Structure 1
Amino acid sequence: MLSISEKYKGIHPGIVLDRELKKRAIKQRPFALSIGEHPQSFNAIIKGKRSLPISLALKIEDKLNINEGDLVLLQTYFDIKKEKEKLQKSTPNISLIRRILFWDTDFDKLDWVKNYRAIIKRIFERGNNEEKKEIIRFYGNEKISEALDSASTLPINLHLES
């Protein structure tokens, strides 16, 4: 049988905890008070709005007879997932963009957020459809239009076909 951390990897531990409490017909407020936690703080954790601290996770695991460390691992996996999502949002899929388009700069040091106008202009002047699609996906049509309007470049269809 899979442990909780393996079964729910990447899901906030509060959501899993909420399911577990409902499954056992345990009310949140009395449970929170029984482990010495403020009901409001406990509710925020259950709703996924707050991280689950290790000390509280250990109390919960002990009280509910869950394998020690499962909730902590869930929180860690959830934090890793959030961090990966942040990284994906901060750069486009660079495997789809030819480095040669940026021959005059260090491609690995491009600031995709700060230099968005220059990057968008370059891709739409010299890039292929795949590169343009990726830039549209990453920046969105509004930011593309803003950058291209200020550049007075060739009119580009922002809804490229697959």
Structure 2
Amino acid sequence: MTAKTDMIKLYSQRILALAADIPHHHRLEAPGATVRRRAPLCGSAITVDITCKDGVVADYGQDVKACALGQAAASVVGGAIVGCSREQVIEARDALQRMLTEDGPPPAAPFDGLDVLRPAQEYKNRHASIMLSLEAAVEALDTACNA
């Protein structure tokens, strides 16, 4: 495969569609926690706002300034995270990391849509951007669910 063919495969129609339609793409007025994370290599950044009630995500907001892969990951996370426990989000983060670096299975439902990012395994310089939304969410949940 040529480099151009690899890039076309990486930026599939599904990834581009997810990147164009990010759920909860707004900031919360009164979040329980706010976390901003940045991927230094590519400059992608995300700000996550979370409120937690009874140990699960009650509301979620995000401001995403990332490449299409980071946007696609944020889209899947934004569509799945409300109603999830901190443990579910940690499991999704860890599974996504294993999927990208060890060819592990995709995260379990409701985060199984992250499997669309499997073609990025070979592009280590994109991994940090893909991981941003779940890493920020876990960090925010550490504060919001313990407040």
TM-score band (shorter)? under 0.3
Normalized per residue, the structure richer in strand is: 2
TM-score (norm 2): 0.28
Larger relative contact order (Cα-Cα within 8 Å, sequence gap ≥ 6)? 2
Structure with larger Rg = 1
TM-score (norm 1): 0.26
